[in-house]
Structure 1
Amino acid sequence: SLQVLVEIDRVKSRMQLAAESLQEADKWSTLSADIEETLKTQDVPVISAKLTSMQSSLAMLVDTPDYSEKCVHLEALKNRLEAMASPQIVAAFNSQSVDQAKTFVKVFTEIDRMPQLLAYYYKCHKVQLVAVWQDLCQSDLSLNRQLTELYDTLLGTWHSQLQWATQVFKNPHEIVTVLLIQTLGALVPSIPVCLSTAMERTGQETKLNKLLEVYDATIHFAKGLEVAMLPNLKEQNLVKVMELVEVVYGPYKPFQLEYGDLEEENLLIQISAVPLEHWEVIDCVQELNHSVNKLFILASGAIDNCIKLTDGLGVCGLLKALKALFTKYTSDFTNTLQSIRKKCKLDDVLSDSLFQEDWTAFQNSVRIITTCGELLRQCGDFEQQLANRILSTAGKYLSDSYSPCSFSGFQDTSSAEKKNSIKNPWQEYNYLLKENPSEHASLMETLYTLK
């Protein structure tokens, strides 16, 4: 009957499977017996072929009692092959031999050891790059110049290694990205340590400028990498690229989070260097007039600093610093006016006394009124400039949920475009969202209000 035929077929299948298992067991035994002699030849491709055959046989012996022992034995043989080949691997990577490297890629792929091969690749290049950094650290160059030299070396490494790795590895972009990540993480002394040390040695009056100077070198490097990666962004592992972005910008995160305090301290030091009080009334009046432009040069410079160091994410700190600046200035301005009033003895004039013309005092009063008018005018201009620059820079961080569109069709198109577009990790970096969510929320509210 049909049931009997089905049962016979099952028995036949089991017998075939048993026969194959016996064949594989026999094959394993033969290969296992021969492998020692093969290892003595130190012929890496031949040894690899034998190990690959053993690996295939082992896959058929999963249900055998000594399967785990066989697995351990095979791994030990792979370790011996790797140890035997390691000098040749290092030599191949150091000499940048494409043919030899390809051979090892094939071998290590066959024995499922590609991560170990890549570890050799990373180590070979890391050693050289870390040595470059250590030489720079021992030089008399400033930190800014040291970083510039390092970044130039790393950018050159990116281009040269990508060209080489494309001929050797299947995923060259990811591999070279990981190389940079590992190198930046292996630097001794680390960039964060160097940066902190440099800031500690810098006076308060120049701390922010020093930070911006060093950060400029990093920005230049980041832009260079972004330009290099952009044409092949689809081929990149974006998770690894974002990791690289974090490693590049990470050392500045503590200072970016403290930007408001740094800027406030900087502005107060700068405005304190603009003395409004003078012995002569005419000098006070002239200094009040000149101080207006100085005030707004400082304020505009603060916006530049915020954009440069935080890409607009430090707006809340900027507003706090500007408030401190204008509070200090108005206090000094008011005190100077009171001083002028005393110098002119206006408080000593009795209400019923005979009026005496004082054209000098009148002219000074007109100048002061003109200065106040100019101050108000520039305040209005600055407020508009501040709003425009904040929106043009930090506006990209404002999510759609904060700005619902009136026309659903337009909104749908925008969403579709966003789905189809590949995000650029270099533009998506947002240290504030993760490190200080409350300040990030305040920033979003500020941007929405301005918009």
Structure 2
Amino acid sequence: MKLQLFIQEVNNAVEETSHQALQNMPRVLRDMEALKQEATFLKEQMILVKEDIKKFEEDTAQSMQVLVEIDRVKSRMQLAAESLQEADKWSTLSADIEETFKTQDVSVISAKLTSMQSSLAMLVDTPDYSEKCVHLEALKNRLEALASPQIVATFNAQSADQAKVFVKVFTEIDRMPQLLAYYYKCHKVQLVAVWQDLCQSDLSLDRQLTELYDTLLGTWHSQLQWTMQVFKNPHEIVTVLLIQTLGALVPSIPVCLSTAMERAGQETKLTKLLELYDTTLHFARGLEVAMLPNLQEHNLVKVMELVEVVYGPYKPYQLQYGDLEEENLLIQISAVPLEHWEVIDCVQELNHSVNKIFSLASAAIDNCMKLTDGLGVCGLLKALRALFAKYASDFTNTLQSVRKKCKLDDIASDSLFQEDWAAFQNSIRIITTCGELLRQCGDFEQQLANRILSTAGKYLSDSYSPCSLSGLQDVSLADKKSTGKNPWQEYNYLQKENPVEHASLLETLYTLKEKGTSNHSLLSASRTALTRLNQLAHQLAFDSVFLRIKQQLLLISKMEGWSSGGLGETLTDDLPNFSLTPLEYINYLINVMDALGLQPSRTLQNIVTLLKTKPEDYRQTAKSMPRRLASTIATMRGLEY
């Protein structure tokens, strides 16, 4: 019942709503019709307005063109008026400038010249513009000449306030480079004088350089603080000051280095160079530490130029490092004589030489990394190969000498046998030395590869590819980018001075990086030479034993038990049925071989067995022996076989 009532209410509501909608429909239609009429009227009005605007534009176009021309004429007239005013101003200033110069007031004169410069900028199109420019430059030169004594006095006295005045004056007249030239010259004169005093002193060159570098480093810190109060770009200015000072030294550092190297003996040349370079390196590290906190404020192009000037004097010697190191190593290895009169002394010297040779080689690595920062690796490898080749040659000659002293190559077949195990014992010691030599060679190669990759690996770009021009170009780009980080760490003299060696260095680094430092062949030829020494030592030990055995075997046929009573008679049927002499000698040989840890050959064992066999058992024992050998032994013993 409730549901029916609810449905009835809903139907009534729907019916009422529909009835209201039908009643409102005519009014809505009337409103829509009125809106349509208004839209049509608005459209017609817009068309009329558009036509009016078009007509207005057509009527005023000519008038606007006239206005534009009038405005252009007005602008030209204003420009002409300004030019006339500036010309009049130029004339006035030119007439007054002489009186202004008489005041000797730099600031007032500078203000006049600045005004004249502004006036001249408006007179570009005048016929005598170039003459006016020449006249203005002459006036600026007069001002500079007038102010130069004061400028020099200001920079020498380090007067910041007065220096600021000159900075303002020279900035206004566009002569700032000339003012900086005065600044550089004042300090260069003082620093060059310090260097000349040092050169005339009794100090050694490394001490002279130390004093100079300490002075320059102190100047860097003091002048940086002063220039920060005066100039806009103090870091660049102080950098340029050091560049110009190092370039103005008389005598120059390259000349001093050349003289020092000429005076040094061949055996001390590299050591002297390293001492001098260490002094310069200490100075460079000091500058790097000073610049690093504010490196982004520096002009990195100028910093790189300073790096070139600091390290430049050593560039010729860095490029010759391989030859210098090779000469140094050969001189030092020649001072290690392996040859001695006594064999035992030779053996001991060979043993001691192992540590010496690798000590020299390790020192060469240190020299390379210190002097070239890893760029001289190719020269280092060349020098090391020469060192080990010379050592292997001397070692071989010593082994030959030991052979001669032990008389292993000239044992006469009829010489009296003397039991002497000294040669064999010495040979064993030499073999031990060779084993240590090969072990240390392997360790040294690993150390060499690790040092090369850790020090010079920074020069290898991730995009480098061997035998590829694009790879080389990528390296160059990488170097340029990395230069923006720290020029002191990215200095690379080899890339420009010797591209071929630089490419070889990169290829070596690439190989070490790709294959690993434990899988390399940096000194394969040297390792082969040392292996050959080991073979020669084993041959010496072998000969020291078996040449004696050979000698005794040759004497068997001449022993008393093997011959008849008369000299030169051969064995006959009159021989005794059995002789102990051959057996005793063979037993002696077997004992010798046992002492050496060697096994007798099968033939020798068969001979011993047949000699020891009882006559009644001989036929049975000989069945398992070679027939010819059994027949010979039976004949010798007088047995039927």
- Whether the 8 Å contact between 1:130 and 1:186 is mirrored in structure 2 is yes
Gaps of 5+ in 2: 1-62, 511-641
Structure-1 separation of matches of 2:386 and 2:473: 40
- Whether the 8 Å contact between 1:35 and 1:47 is mirrored in structure 2 is yes
Deviations 1:112-132 (A, max 9, x none): 000100010000000000000
Please state whether the residue corresponding to 1:181 is helix, strand or coil: helix
Deviation (angstroms), 1:400: 2.0
Deviation (angstroms), 1:365: 1.2
Structure-2 separation of matches of 1:348 and 1:378: 35
Deviation (angstroms), 1:352: 10
1:264 aligns with 2:326: yes
Deviation (angstroms), 1:361: 1.8
Name 2:153's counterpart in structure 1. 91
Residue 405 of structure 1: which of 462, 467, 471 is its match? 467
Structure-1 separation of matches of 2:129 and 2:479: 53
Structure-1 separation of matches of 2:482 and 2:458: 18
Deviation (angstroms), 1:366: 1.1
Structure-1 separation of matches of 2:92 and 2:486: 54
Please state whether the residue corresponding to 2:375 is helix, strand or coil: coil
Change (3 A) 1:267 1:413: closer
- Whether the 8 Å contact between 1:405 and 1:411 is mirrored in structure 2 is no
Change (3 A) 1:184 1:418: closer
Deviations 1:371-418 (A, max 9, x none): 000000000000000000011111111122226999999999999999
Change (3 A) 1:415 1:180: closer
Change (3 A) 1:37 1:166: same
- Whether the 8 Å contact between 1:177 and 1:240 is mirrored in structure 2 is yes
Deviation (angstroms), 1:205: 0.3
Deviations 1:308-337 (A, max 9, x none): 110010011111100110000000000000
Change (3 A) 1:230 1:107: same
Change (3 A) 1:57 1:414: closer
Change (3 A) 1:411 1:149: closer
Gaps of 5+ in 1: none
Change (3 A) 1:415 1:49: closer
Structure-2 separation of matches of 1:327 and 1:115: 59
Please state whether the residue corresponding to 1:166 is helix, strand or coil: helix
**Structure 1 residues 8-23: aligned runs within 5 Å:** 8-23=70-85
Change (3 A) 1:417 1:210: closer
- Whether the 8 Å contact between 1:94 and 1:124 is mirrored in structure 2 is yes
- Whether the 8 Å contact between 2:482 and 2:490 is mirrored in structure 1 is no
Change (3 A) 1:253 1:12: same
Structure-1 separation of matches of 2:386 and 2:447: 19
Change (3 A) 1:363 1:272: same
Change (3 A) 1:420 1:8: farther
Deviations 1:129-166 (A, max 9, x none): 00000000000000000000000000000000000000
- Whether the 8 Å contact between 1:24 and 1:57 is mirrored in structure 2 is yes
1:208 aligns with 2:270: yes
Please state whether the residue corresponding to 1:61 is helix, strand or coil: coil
Deviation (angstroms), 1:362: 2.1
- Whether the 8 Å contact between 2:461 and 2:478 is mirrored in structure 1 is no
Name 2:181's counterpart in structure 1. 119
Structure-2 separation of matches of 1:350 and 1:143: 65
Deviation (angstroms), 1:349: 3.4
Deviation (angstroms), 1:351: 8.2
Give me the TM-score of the superposition, normalised by structure 1: 0.95
- Whether the 8 Å contact between 1:48 and 1:107 is mirrored in structure 2 is yes
Structure-2 separation of matches of 1:182 and 1:14: 51
- Whether the 8 Å contact between 2:322 and 2:378 is mirrored in structure 1 is yes
- Whether the 8 Å contact between 2:239 and 2:303 is mirrored in structure 1 is yes
Change (3 A) 1:412 1:264: closer
Change (3 A) 1:27 1:406: closer
Deviation (angstroms), 1:303: 0.3
Change (3 A) 1:74 1:415: closer
Q: Which runs of 4+ in 1 moved over 6 A?
A: 350-355, 403-421
Change (3 A) 1:413 1:315: closer
Structure-2 separation of matches of 1:141 and 1:417: 40
Deviation (angstroms), 1:363: 1.6
Change (3 A) 1:397 1:415: closer
Q: What do you get for the CA RMSD once the two structures are aligned? A: 3.1
Identity %: 90
Structure-2 separation of matches of 1:388 and 1:288: 28
1:164 aligns with 2:226: yes
Deviation (angstroms), 1:348: 2.4
Structure-2 separation of matches of 1:328 and 1:420: 41
